[in-house]
């Protein structure tokens, strides 16, 4: 019996029927995606997982570019010092 002040419950039960078996890689991928979804949905991670991966990739590329520029600058400066 429901009480009047109980609020809204979001229980969604779904049954999935597969005609055949699933390969272990497929099961692993499904479980991984469900975990990622649950972590985001329950606010355990601040952004969707794919967005976080994309941001990290951009940050790493920027760090690599900055490091390359610093190394080139040092070698350029060293070349100037040697010419004097």
Return per-residue pLDDT of the chain as tens, 84 residues: 444 545 556 667 777 777 778 889 998 999 998 998 898 888 888 888 888 888 889 988 888 877 766 666 665 555 544 544
Is there a domain that residue 24 lies in?
Answer: no
The reported pTM is: 0.46
Task: Tell me if residue 15 falls in helix, strand or coil.
Answer: coil
For residue 40, with 0-12 CB atoms within 10 Å meaning exposed, 13-18 middle and 19 or more buried, which class applies?
middle
pLDDT at 68: 67
Domain carrying residue 61: 47-84
User: What span, in angstroms and rounded, lies between the C-alpha atoms of 70 and 24?
Assistant: 46
State the total domains in the chain: 1
Instruction: Please report whether residue 6 resides in a domain.
Output: no
* Token couple for 17: 């029927």
């Amino acid at each position: 019996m429901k009480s009047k002040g109980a609020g809204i419950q979001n229980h969604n039960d779904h049954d999935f029927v597969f005609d055949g078996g699933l390969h272990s890689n497929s099961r692993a991928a499904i479980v991984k995606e469900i975990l990622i979804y649950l972590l985001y949905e329950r606010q355990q991670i601040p952004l969707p997982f794919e967005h976080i991966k994309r941001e990290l990739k951009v940050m790493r590329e920027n760090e690599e570019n900055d490091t390359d520029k610093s190394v080139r600058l040092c070698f350029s400066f060293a070349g100037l010092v040697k010419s004097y």
